[in-house]
Structure 1
Amino acid sequence: MKINKVIGYQVLDSRGRPTVAAAISLTDGSVHTARVPSGASTGKHEAKELRDTGSKFAESFYGGLSVAQAVANINEKIAPKLVEEQIDLNLVDAQLIELDPSADHSSLGANATLAVSLAASLATAHSQNKSLARYFSPDGPLQIPMPMVNILSGGAHANRTMDIQDILVVPVGAKTFTQALSWIVAIREMAAKLGKEDGKVTNLIADEGGLAISFTSIEKACEFVVTAIEKVGLSVGSQVSLALDIAATQFYDGNNYNLSTMGKSYNRSEYLQFIKSLVSNQPIISIEDPFAEDDWQSWQEFSSQMPAKLQLLGDDLLTTNLDRLNRAIAEKSANAILIKPNQNGLVSATLNVLKQARANNFNTVVSARSGESEDSWLADLATGWSAGQIKVGSTHGSERNAKWNRLLEFEATENTKFLNPFN
C-alpha cells in the first residue's frame, strides 16, 4: 500500500496553544492523522520543536507560538519525498532523518517530524489491518501499563501553587486496570472534596487536570493526598502509593535549590539530605527529576544511597535521548526513564530508547505532556511497547481521558495482562 498524500496543518492543544497535525492518506482511501503534544516544563536537551517566534511566519494573535514554519516543512519538504512511496514506519523515519540529520531535529522541527512519524505509524498499522498497539505487539496478551496519575499539581503546570510539579498516586495493589482507574477517580474526587471543605480549592485546575491547591510544604501536600487515599477506604502503601514529580531544574539556579513557597534555599548537599528525608518519611514509591537536569553528581550520589525499592525516574535528565540514557546507565544515576515521543522526534527512535532502557533493567514510563490532544495513540504505544507504566495527567479533561478510555477498551475487548512493575 502506498502513500497518496501527506498534509500538515496547525491545530490547538489542550492549553489553547498551536501544535502540529499531520495526515497521511493511503491509496486505499484511508486517512491517518496524528497531533503532537507540547510540554510546559521542557528540558533543554529535548528535541527542538519549531515555533514561529521572530520569524516571518509569526501570527500575532498566538504570541509567536504558531507553528506555520513546521507545517510548511511538512507540506513543502517532507511530503514530496514520501508521496508514492510504500507505507512503512521505518522507511518514513529514515527519510525524515535524511531530510534533517540533526540530532535534535532543529531543521525541520521535532513537532513536524513527530507528527509525520506518528501518522506513518498509524498508517502502517492500518496497512497490516492492526491497531497501533497490535502492530508493535502482534502476539500474546496486550500488556496494559500501570497508571501514575496526578492528584495535586504545582510548578509550571499550576502557577506555582507548590514548588514541585505534581503529587501523583500509583495503585500498586490493583488487580486490573479497570480497578486501578476506579481507585484513582475516587481519590481525585475525595481530594477535591477535602480541598473544598478546607477552603483550599480554587477554580484553578492545572494543565494536566490535577488540583491546584497551595501548600506550605511538600510534606503537608503528601499528607493531604494520604488522607484522601485513606478516606476512600484504601490502604496507603499496600494498595496505593505516592509518586512525586519534583521538576527540580525549575528552581535550581546553578548553585542552590530554591523552594520559594517553602521559603527555603538549599545548597546541593543540604538539598540532597532534604530529598532523602522526604522519601524516608512519606509513602513514596517513585520520584521524578528530584535534581536538576545537569546536576549529574547529585543524581549519582542519591542513587547510591536511596531505598532499594524506590523508582528514580529521569525526565529532564534523560529527555528520551539515547546518549543521555547511556550515561545514566554507566554512572548508575537513575533506574527508570520517562519516555516522551516529542522529546525525541521520531517513533522508531523513541522505541529504541525504550528498548535500551529495558535491556539495562530500567523501568519505563510512557508519558504525555501538559499540552495534549484528544488522540489516544499514546495508550497504544505504551501498551504495544509493554512499557510497564503510563503517565498522562489526571482523570479530568477529554485529552487525558481519551488515553485512559483507550486502555479500558483494550481490557474490555482484547486478551490483556495488567502489568505491575512494583510487585
Structure 2
Amino acid sequence: MERFKIREVKAREVLDCRGEPTIEVEVITETGIVGRASVPSGRSRGMHEAFELRDGGKRYHGKGVLKAVRNVNEILAPALKGMDVTKQREIDELMIELDGTEDKSKIGANAIVGVSLAVAKTAANALEIPLYRYIGGVNAYILPVPVLNLIEGGKLAATDLDFQEHQVMPIGAKSFSEAIRMGLEVYYELGRILMEKHGKYSLNVGVEGGYTPPGMKDPREALELELKAIEELGYTNKFALSLDCAATHLYNRNTGKYTLMGKEITREELIDFYEDLVSAYPIQSLEDPLEEEDFEGFRELTKTLNVQIIGDDLFATNIKRLRKGIEMKAANAILLKVNQVGTLSEALDVAELAFRNGYGVQVSERSGQTEDTWLADLTVGINAGQIKTGVTRSERTAQYNQLLRIEEELGKRAKYAGKNFKQPF
C-alpha cells in the first residue's frame, strides 16, 4: 500500500542538549506520512559501543555529523526507497548489511539508528497508533520507575565526586505521576539542604540537571543528604537509593587499580566498599560498579550483593556480551541504550534476551540527549519497569511529560512498576 511505502529518507544536522551536533532523520511515505527521530550522544562511552561517526576538523571542534548525514542521504535513502515502513527488522538488517562492519563504522551507528527510529515512528503514524503500542502491542502497559540523578559527579559534572550519578528511585509511589511528583519534591528539598550546608554554588547543575555541590568528595555524603531530603518530606521507605559508578573511568589498566576519593584501591577493596554502602544505605541498584571487561568481578559482586547490578559499559547493549554475562552470571540487569547497538531491532532483541533470563532492563538516555521522546515510548513499549533520563532539563522532562501522557491514555490499564521495577510483569 502507498500509505506504507517509503518515498523519501532525509537527514539533517541538528543540536543536542549540549549544543553539539547530532543527526535527525525523517522517513516519508508515498502518501506524505512523516516520522522524525533524533539521535542522542553519550559523553561517558564504553569501548564496545557501536561507532559514532563524527566529521573531525575545526568545524564544531570536530564534532560535526555531516558525514553521517551524507551517508543517510546518499547510501541509505536510495536503498530504502519503496520498502514497507512496517518491515522494521527487514529494514534494519538491510542497513546492517550495507554497512558491513561489526561496529557500524562505515556508515556510522548514529546514521543507522536515526533511520531505524524514524522508520518506527513513521510506521506508528501510518498505522495511527502511539509509538509505544507499535513497539509493544496491546501488552504495553507498565509505567517505569524514574531513576533520578539528583547529585552528579564523574564525567557529567565539574565536581570532586568520582561516581557519576547519585540517584533516588520512588518505588513506593502508586502511579508514575505520583512518583515523578515525589521525586521532584525531594529534588527541591535537597537543593534547600545543599544550599544551607554547601552554599549557593551547590545549586549549580550538571549535564542531566542534578546538583553539583563543590567540595563534596565522598559518595556517602551525597547519599546521606538525599536520605535527609527524603526523610524531611516524610517519604521514608518510599524511596530506594541507587548509584551509577561508571567505574571504567576510575580504572587504570596499567596498574589494575581504581582511584576513589584520591586513593588507589584494588578490585577487592572496591567490592568491600560497595558491601559497606549497601549495608548502610537503602541502595537497591548499582550500575557499572566495576570496569567494562571485568566479567569475573561482576559475577562476584552479583553473587555477594542482593541488589540490582547493572551492566552498561560491560554489555554496551550488545547481545554477544549479554550472552556472556548470562552464562557467567555476571550482573543481573542491563542498561538499554539504542545508539550503543545501532538499530531498534537489535535493541529489542537484547531486551528480550535479558527478560527471558531474569535480567532487569533499565532504559537509558545519553548525556547528549535531544527533545525527542521516543525513549519514553520505548520504555513502556517493552514494559521495562525503569527509566534513567536525568532530572530537570527540558530534554529530560520531555521524557517524563510523554510518560504522563501515556499514563493518562492507558487509564486504568496502566500499571506502575514500583517495587517490582526489575521484573515488573
Query: Over residues 10-53 of structure 1, what are the superposed CA-to-partner deviations in whole Å (9 max), with x where a residue is unaligned?
Result: 11100111111101111121221100000010001011110112
CA contact (8 A) 2:165 2:245 kept: yes
- Cα deviation for residue 140 of structure 1 reads 4.5
Partners of 1:99 and 1:222 in 2: CA distance: 48
Partners of 1:382 and 1:126 in 2: CA distance: 18
Shift in CA distance, 272/196, structure 1 to aligned 2, threshold 3 Å: same
CA contact (8 A) 1:338 1:365 kept: yes
Partners of 1:371 and 1:5 in 2: CA distance: 27
Q: Which amino acid aligns with 1:376?
A: T
Give the 5 Å matches for 1:14-93.
14-53=17-56, 58=57, 60-88=58-86, 89-93=88-92
SS of residue matched to 2:23: strand
SS of residue matched to 2:389: strand
Q: Which amino acid aligns with 2:290?
A: F
Partners of 1:106 and 1:213 in 2: CA distance: 39
Q: Which amino acid aligns with 1:2?
A: K
Partners of 2:199 and 2:388 in 1: CA distance: 26
2:346 is matched with 349
2:372 is matched with 375
Partners of 2:331 and 2:199 in 1: CA distance: 35
Correspondence 1:148 to 2:147:
yes
Query: Over residues 123-172 of structure 1, what are the superposed CA-to-partner deviations in whole Å (9 max), with x where a residue is unaligned?
Result: 11122221110112222562211111111001100024311000111111
CA contact (8 A) 1:161 1:212 kept: no
- Cα deviation for residue 295 of structure 1 reads 1.8
Q: Which amino acid aligns with 1:11?
A: V
SS of residue matched to 1:242: strand
Partners of 2:409 and 2:377 in 1: CA distance: 14
Shift in CA distance, 212/66, structure 1 to aligned 2, threshold 3 Å: same
Give the 5 Å matches for 1:251-266.
251-254=250-253, 255-259=256-260, 262-266=261-265
1:405 is matched with 401
SS of residue matched to 1:162: coil
Shift in CA distance, 283/349, structure 1 to aligned 2, threshold 3 Å: same
CA contact (8 A) 2:53 2:108 kept: yes
CA contact (8 A) 1:20 1:115 kept: yes
Q: Which amino acid aligns with 1:379?
A: A
- Cα deviation for residue 204 of structure 1 reads 3.0
Query: Over residues 192-250 of structure 1, what are the superposed CA-to-partner deviations in whole Å (9 max), with x where a residue is unaligned?
Result: 11111223442531111111114131111110111111112211xx2001010000010
CA contact (8 A) 1:121 1:132 kept: yes
CA contact (8 A) 2:288 2:311 kept: yes
CA contact (8 A) 2:160 2:217 kept: no
Shift in CA distance, 186/292, structure 1 to aligned 2, threshold 3 Å: same
Partners of 2:388 and 2:295 in 1: CA distance: 24
Q: Which amino acid aligns with 2:64?
A: S
Q: Which amino acid aligns with 2:339?
A: N
SS of residue matched to 1:205: coil
1:182 is matched with 181
Shift in CA distance, 90/39, structure 1 to aligned 2, threshold 3 Å: same
- Structure 1 vs Structure 2 CA RMSD: 1.3
Give the 5 Å matches for 1:103-142.
103-140=102-139, 142=141
2:231 is matched with 230
Partners of 1:84 and 1:27 in 2: CA distance: 9
Q: Which amino acid aligns with 2:131?
A: L
CA contact (8 A) 1:47 1:342 kept: yes
Q: Which amino acid aligns with 1:329?
A: I
Shift in CA distance, 275/211, structure 1 to aligned 2, threshold 3 Å: same
Q: Which amino acid aligns with 2:394?
A: S
Stretch moving more, 284-293 or 190-199: 190-199
Post-superposition, which runs of at least 4 consecutive aligned residues in structure 1 deviate over 4 A? none
CA contact (8 A) 1:201 1:211 kept: no
Aligned residue among 318, 323, 326 for 1:321: 318
Count of matched residue pairs: 411
Q: Which amino acid aligns with 2:101?
A: S
SS of residue matched to 1:139: helix
TM-score by length of 1: 0.95
2:267 is matched with 268
- Cα deviation for residue 101 of structure 1 reads 2.6
1:300 is matched with 299
- Cα deviation for residue 361 of structure 1 reads 0.2
CA contact (8 A) 2:12 2:25 kept: yes
Q: Which amino acid aligns with 1:186?
A: E
Correspondence 1:213 to 2:209:
no
Shift in CA distance, 86/140, structure 1 to aligned 2, threshold 3 Å: closer
SS of residue matched to 2:160: coil
Q: Which amino acid aligns with 1:48?
A: F
- Cα deviation for residue 318 of structure 1 reads 0.7
Partners of 2:238 and 2:38 in 1: CA distance: 35
Q: Which amino acid aligns with 1:174?
A: A
Query: Over residues 39-79 of structure 1, what are the superposed CA-to-partner deviations in whole Å (9 max), with x where a residue is unaligned?
Result: 010001011110112xxxx4x24100111111110011000
2:204 is matched with 204
Identity, % of aligned pairs?
A: 39
SS of residue matched to 1:19: strand
Query: Over residues 75-113 of structure 1, what are the superposed CA-to-partner deviations in whole Å (9 max), with x where a residue is unaligned?
Result: 110001111222122222122012113221111111000
SS of residue matched to 2:142: strand
